[in-house]
Amino acid sequence: MTIQASTAAAQFDPESVTTDDSVVRVEGICKRYGAVEALRGIDLQFERGKLTTLLGPSGCGKTTLLKIIAGLIPATSGQIVINDRVVTGPGPERAFVFQDFALMPWATVLRNVGFGLELKGVAEGERNRIARNYIEQVGLQGFEDKFPHELSGGMRQRVGIARAFAVNADVLLLDEPFSAVDEQNRRKFQEDLLRLVEIERKTFIFVTHSIEEAVYVSDRIVLLSPRPGRLARIIEPRIDRSASPDEIRRDAAYLDVVEDIWQSLRHYAE
């Protein structure tokens, strides 16, 4: 619970910048819904400062796996270990970004962003200060007192991301965060996300069904096969991120990875 009082400055706390690798370990996770087997024997590790994407066709259980890591859904068997501790429910070291934003329609942007801190009992002045900082980081300054219905889809998801950052969790779980955002904004988001990965040094677990998006943003891509969801392949794109976004998208290595993934997924498409 040290995160409670943490501020933006505390992110560079030397203690958290460990050289040790895996922050999140997924050990033998299985999930059944009655007779339906959703996930079978998933073993994965996620490293600090890296963005891992769970990618797969619909029905492969990628969102289910993400919610199990988040502690929102109990696993049938197996365990989730975070910072060497087995967890069974949601915890302060993880923050979730929702596909449908999950913003409270009755609350302003400021209160929505500070909601995670509000639940932890952080005093109002303190949490508003932190919230304002992240609102600024996601480019929403000036919108603090607006209500969600007054924002566009893209702006709403920026609120959702700012809220997740505001609690200063080690692990950020993003469930198809850009699927309800139009194409132009989506690209902008992907670039912003990359920037955030770089400066925040957190562990990102990202779910998407877009191959291009996965290849563009990921350090590592976990391919899941459907019915039941199993690990199919793990790919490390190794894209040179020093190039400009437009160059990356035209880069042959980038396009090869996209094609490679498409070839391994195509037989799942009907």
Question: How far is residue 45's CA from residue 1's CA, in Å, rounded to a whole number?
Answer: 24
Q: What is the smallest separation between the CB atom of 40 and another protein, expressed in angstroms?
A: 24
Nearer CB in complex with another protein: 205/248: 205
Least CB distance from residue 96 to another protein, whole Å? Answer: 4
**Dihedral Cα 165, 93, 4, 176, nearest 10 deg:** 30
Category of 75 on φ-ψ map: left (φ > 0), alpha (ψ -120 to 50) or beta: beta
Q: CB of 31: closest distance to another protein in angstroms?
A: 16
Q: Which is nearer to another protein, 100 or 240 (CB)?
A: 100
Give me the sign of the Cα torsion angle 31, 36, 40, 42: negative
Nearer to another protein among residue 145 and residue 256 (C-beta): 145
Minimum CB–partner distance for residue 61 and another protein (Å): 17
Residue 67 or 158: which CB sits closer to another protein? 67
DSSP 63: H
Establish whether the linkage from the previous residue to 228 is cis, with ω within 30° of 0.
Answer: yes
> CA 189, 156, 117 angle in degrees (round to 5)?
105
Contact residues toward another protein (CB under 8 A) are: 67, 70-72, 89-92, 94-96, 98-100, 102, 104-106, 115-116, 118-120, 147-149, 167, 173
Q: What's the closest the beta carbon of residue 161 comes to another protein, in angstroms?
A: 13
Which CB, 130 or 215, lies closer to another protein? Answer: 130
